[in-house]
């Protein structure tokens, strides 16, 4: 069974930056489009960014220009670089493949607070 492991979250001040990482143990990412999602307190999980096998990307409007999704197939890892963080970015962040998602991991908590 594939186990998704997200890391890199933490407490950051508004305007700060974080880099999230995601590795699926038990599978490889090179054949799949991958995505980052987030779930804020009291809200449903939402799609934040995607990246195809060819490197094409999509971003939710509210994170365009601030977040960058990338992938390193050699390291079997997907990244989310988050800059200029705002309070509304506070959430648990998850990664998964875009089509036929694996069982969700624990996610990594990002808290933006002054």
Q: List per-residue pLDDT tens for the chain, 114 residues long.
A: 899 999 999 999 999 999 999 999 989 899 999 999 999 999 999 999 999 999 999 999 999 999 999 999 999 999 999 999 999 999 999 999 999 999 999 999 999 999
Q: Which of 19, 2, 1 is nearest to 10 (CA)?
A: 19
Q: Which of 22, 9, 17 is nearest to 73 (CA)?
A: 22
Residue 70 contacts residue 78 (beta carbons within 8 Å): yes
């Amino acid at each position: 069974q594939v186990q998704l492991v997200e890391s890199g979250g933490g407490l950051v001040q508004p305007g700060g930056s974080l880099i999230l990482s995601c590795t699926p143990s038990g599978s490889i990412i090179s054949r799949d489009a991958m995505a980052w999602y987030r779930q804020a307190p009291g809200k449903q999980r939402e799609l934040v960014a995607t990246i195809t096998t060819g490197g094409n990307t999509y971003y939710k409007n509210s994170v365009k220009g601030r977040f960058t999704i990338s992938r390193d197939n050699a390291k079997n890892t997907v990244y989310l670089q988050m800059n200029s963080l705002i309070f509304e970015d506070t959430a648990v962040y998850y990664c998964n493949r875009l089509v036929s998602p694996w069982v969700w991991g624990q996610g990594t908590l990002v808290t933006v607070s002054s």
